[in-house]
Amino acid sequence: MNIRRVRFDHPDAVKLNDEVQAEYSLRYGDEGDATVLAAEDFLPPRGVYLIAYDELDRPVATGGWRSQDHNDEGNEDGDAELKRMYVVTEARGRGLARRMLAALEEDARMAGRVRMVLETGTKQPEAIALYTSSGYEPCTKFGYYRHYEDSRCYAKRL
């Protein structure tokens, strides 16, 4: 797997974002994740967006983090918010998500962030299993979905 930094508006990032939004729509029966994201959110040193490519140079996994500090949505100073973690269906089960997560954590740590936070939902049990097995613990709800019953938030000190 070859992990590359890209802009959130890179054509491969847009393609994978469309795929993950379609999956959210299937699982939750809505339009996908309504959290507002901008390409600038993921520009170093305040964030990063990564895509993993396979041996044939196909984009197979994605993820990013963006800086968050104390705000009225429940974030704390020094947070790095994980966004758009996704592995294409045909590449699942190979440990790509775990490798992407580790790369994002290391990047956020090197940027001076102190805590990685994420929001997921009850209809994504494989995501919850990945995060909890990677040292994430439930935390106070934050972000756009903090008032939704199916929302689950996790954090890990970096």
53 occurs within a structural domain: yes
Task: Round to whole Å and give the CA distance between 64 and 83.
Answer: 5
150 occurs within a structural domain: no
Give pTM, 2 decimals: 0.95
Residues in the chain, pLDDT under 70 = none
153 occurs within a structural domain: no
Q: Which domain holds residue 39?
A: 2-113
Q: How many CB atoms sit inside 10 A of residue 130's CB?
A: 18
CATH number of the domain at 14, please: 3.40.630.30
The per-type count for the chain, helices as H runs and strands as E runs, is 3, 7
**What are 70-99's pLDDT values in tens digits?**
999 999 999 999 999 999 999 999 999 999
7 occurs within a structural domain: yes
| Number of domains into which the chain is organized | 1
According to DSSP, the residues that pair with 31 across neighbouring strands are none
48 occurs within a structural domain: yes
Task: Round to whole Å and give the CA distance between 135 and 156.
Answer: 6
pLDDT of residue 1: 85
137 occurs within a structural domain: no
